Amino acid sequence: MTQKISQAPLAIAQLTTQKIVVLGAGLTGLSCVRYLAKHGLTCSVNDSRDNAVNIDVFKQEFPHTALTLGGWDKTLIASADVLLVSPGVDTSIADIAKQISNNCIVAGDVELYCQNNNTAILAVTGSNGKSTVVSLLAFLGQRLGKNVELGGNIGVPVLEQSQKSLDCLVLELSSFQLETLRSMKAIAATVLNVSDDHLDRHKTLENYAAIKRGIYQQCQTAITNRDDVNTQLVGKAQKSLSFGSDAALDGNFGMSVIDGQRQLMFGSMPLIGVNQLPIAGLHNALNCLAVLALGHSAGWPLDEMLAHLVEFKGLAHRCQLISTYKNVQWINDSKATNVGATLAAIEGLAAMMSVDNNLYVIAGGDGKGADFSPLTNIFSKDVSHVFTLGKDGDEIAAVANKAQIKNSKVTGIEQAINILGNIVKSGDVVLLSPACASIDMFKNFAERGEVFVNAVNKLSGENKTPSLPEENS
């Protein structure tokens, strides 16, 4: 990412004389154009893709907005006073970076929002679990009677929330969004965890972690994960609290075993049993602690949050229990698009399993240059058999071989499910947790997850007695 990011104000009144260029014509980019137009401001839009938008539809909605597709317009970029950059656009590439003038303000939609709104914010970043945490946090806020909405990397673009009068905006922030964010003043913010992801853009884990931790400079209370050193505050005295899987000091959140049952804790005070949580696995117990810490920082009563916590249903494709066919848990974790997410899923589920049962994992796809070696130990310790597929499936198979566990190469998820249908036994777990992006075989992680769901439903349907109707998928 270019270092030419300025803290110069983006207040609407100060943009009236600026030449504004929006880079990227996806949902975020178009939300910027729409926001500017509502305030009587014009801009130009540039996207490197030929088919980023339907030109006729664009012109109908934005008749006074210049649109350039099919490549980065160097002349246009060089002339910009303000560049509003969509998260998916890497401004460090030569076609963009070399054109940005020294006085140009480079920002994103969240920065534009924060410079023009005073809504209370709770902010969440991290490699894994962000969507679960922000969704649960917004759910609890709404159950407490507060006007709470989601924004950022989930739901609608944040600028589409700008006209609403909210008690709190819960922001999910990716590393890409954090690169162009400097003016947020959140009540509290957390880095849930940090693992290899997006290194094709961020180059090193250290750089990626530093970008994530930048969120702490823009909040009153920093909430860190004691289990992950990469989430810790570095060299700055700041109000903070923490969560983790260990026992917690007073004023912090953790876990303890009481009468043989693992409990979420606030200091020495038991909150709720892990087995009572609505989402499975120890990694999701940590997610619940992060939610409670964020809500507590905002002044939400712990007892009221706990009363509604058990009502949460979880999110699709995130350790989602699909079926208990054959008394086996068939779990869709297609959103696990990196190694850290798969590690968390395996660790979280294995901790709840009997030693006599087997954990089967389906993994593979486009690893985007990730290092799969961190899976070696957990494969060896907790996984019985790995089914590999996709562009980098062979790399995961190599890790399984090193871990000395069974592995099978399959052409697709359906083949793996058909094989598993014949070998699983009561108490086993089948987990789709690819540790990879989906773009080599699917449109997105959601389509990959639906293929898994449909295959499991087909398997269970095929084994029903013929007189019964087949389940809908």
Which of 130, 202, 212, 385 is flagged as catalytic?
130
Render pLDDT for 392-438 as a digit per residue (tens, 0 to 9). Answer: 999 999 999 999 999 999 999 999 999 999 999 999 999 999 999 99
Identify whether 130 is a catalytic site residue. yes
Cβ neighbourhood burial of 472 (10 Å; 0-12, 13-18, 19+): exposed
CATH no. for 113-309: 3.40.1190.10
pLDDT band with cut points at 50, 70 and 90 for residue 261: confident
Q: Give the per-residue pLDDT at 17.
A: 93
Q: Give the per-residue pLDDT at 86.
A: 94
Which tokens belong to 355? 């030693």
Phi-psi region of 321 (alpha: psi -120 to 50; beta: other; left: phi over 0): beta
Which of 46, 153, 332, 358 is flagged as catalytic?
153
Q: Give the per-residue pLDDT at 353.
A: 85
Count CB-CB contacts under 10 A for residue 157: 23
Sequence letter at residue 279 = I
What are the extents of the domains in the chain? 12-107, 113-309, 320-462
**285 within 8 A of 255, measured Cβ to Cβ:** yes
**117 within 8 A of 184, measured Cβ to Cβ:** no
Mean pLDDT across the chain: 91
Higher pLDDT, 259 or 466: 259
pLDDT band with cut points at 50, 70 and 90 for residue 468: very low
Identify whether 391 is a catalytic site residue. no
pLDDT at residue 72 is higher than 50? yes
Share of the chain above pLDDT 70, in %: 94
How wide is the angle at C-alpha 131 spanned by C-alphas 130 and 132, nearest 5°? 95
CATH no. for 12-107: 3.40.50.720
Which tokens belong to 465? 């007695």
CATH of 320-462, one of 3.40.50.720, 3.40.50.2000, 3.90.190.20, 3.30.460.80: 3.90.190.20
Report CA-CA distances (Å) from 60 to 37, 47, 335. 13, 18, 36
Which of 19, 74, 146, 198 is flagged as catalytic?
198
Q: Give the per-residue pLDDT at 141.
A: 98
Q: Give the per-residue pLDDT at 313.
A: 82
Residues 6+ apart with CB under 8 A from 32: 22, 43, 84, 86, 109, 112, 159
Render pLDDT for 156-171 as a digit per residue (tens, 0 to 9). Answer: 899 999 989 999 999 9
pLDDT band with cut points at 50, 70 and 90 for residue 471: very low
- DSSP letter assigned to residue 167: S
Identify whether 98 is a catalytic site residue. no
Q: CA dihedral in degrees (325, 327, 328, 332; nearest 10)?
A: 50
